[in-house]
Amino acid sequence: MSYQFPPQIIEALQQAKHIMALTGAGTSAESGVPTFRDAQTGLWAQYDPQELATPDAWARNPQLVWEWYTWRRNLVAEARPNAGHYALAKMAQHANQFTLVTQNIDNLHQEAGSSNVIELHGNLRRIKGANSGCVYPNWEAFTGSPPQEPVSGEYMRPDVVWFGEILPEVQLLSAIEASQACDVYLLIGTSSLVHPAASLVVNALRNQATVIEINPNPTPITEYATYAIPHPSGEILPALVTAVWG
C-alpha cells in the first residue's frame, strides 16, 4: 500500500476523546460481499435492490423477496470478516470512546469481535414477524418461502430496514448522539447516498470534528471531508491502527 498518513490524521486519532465510525457495504467488499452499487450477479441480475428491499415488493411477492434475502444470507454466510473489520474492533480497544455505527446487515463487525455495534438497517441473521415485529434470532428454525409463524400463521420477514421504512429509533438516536459528540468521524465504505445514515456526518462537520473518509471512489461527502483516503478499507484500517497505536 503506497499511502502515507498525514501526521495530522495520526495526531487527531491519538488525541481523540470520542471516535465514531460509520460503515457501509464497501467495508465488506474485501470479504466478497457485493455492495449495493455492484451489479447483482446471476439470478438476481435483472432486479434492482432498491426495488426488492421495499415493503411494496414484499406485499407484491413475498416469496421473491424472501428468496432474494435467502440468496444474500447464503452469500454472507460464506463471507469472513476482513482486516478492516478486525482493525475497527482493535481501534475500539485503544480509543478513549468509540462508537461503531453500520449500515450493513451482514454481521461481519460482530464476527470480527466488535461489540455494541449500532445496526441502523438491521441484521440479515435475524427474522421477525411481518405483522407482530416479533424478532427471532435465527431463521434456520423455520421452513417455508417465506416461513410462517406456527401459531399465528403470520409471514416471517428479514429483520432489516427496507427503503421507505423508518430506522430503529434507539439505534438512530444513539448514532445521532455519537455524531454530535465525536471529535473524529470515520466514514468508511459508503456511497453516502442513503439517508438518514448519510446525513449523520453533517453533525460532525457542524461541530468541526475531523472527518476522515476511506473510499476508493469519490462520494458527495468527499469535498467536505477533512481528509479523504482513496484506498480500500481492508488495507487502510489496519495500517491506520498500527500507525496511530503501534
* Contact set with ligand BV8 (CB under 6 A): 24-26, 29-30, 35-37, 50, 53, 103, 105, 121, 160-166, 189-191, 193-197, 214-217, 219, 232-234
Whether 121 is catalytic is yes
Determine phi and psi for 180, rounding to 5 degrees. -85, -25
Question: Which of 18, 94, 121, 195 is the catalytic position?
Answer: 121
Output the nine-digit C-alpha cell for 45. 441480475
CA–CA distance from 9 to each of 14, 47, 189, 212, 240 (Å)?
A: 9, 41, 18, 8, 9
Output the nine-digit C-alpha cell for 35. 455492495
Q: Closest CB to ligand BV8 among 99 and 190?
A: 190
Q: Closest CB to ligand BV8 among 6 and 164?
A: 164
Work out how close the CB of 62 gets to ligand BV8 at its nearest, in angstroms, rounded to a whole number.
14
What span, in angstroms and rounded, lies between the C-alpha atoms of 203 and 125? 31
Q: Closest CB to ligand BV8 among 71 and 97?
A: 71
Work out how close the CB of 151 gets to ligand BV8 at its nearest, in angstroms, rounded to a whole number.
27
Work out how close the CB of 140 gets to ligand BV8 at its nearest, in angstroms, rounded to a whole number.
19
CA–CA distance from 172 to each of 78, 86, 108, 239 (Å)?
A: 29, 24, 20, 30
Any idea which residues carry the catalytic annotation? 121
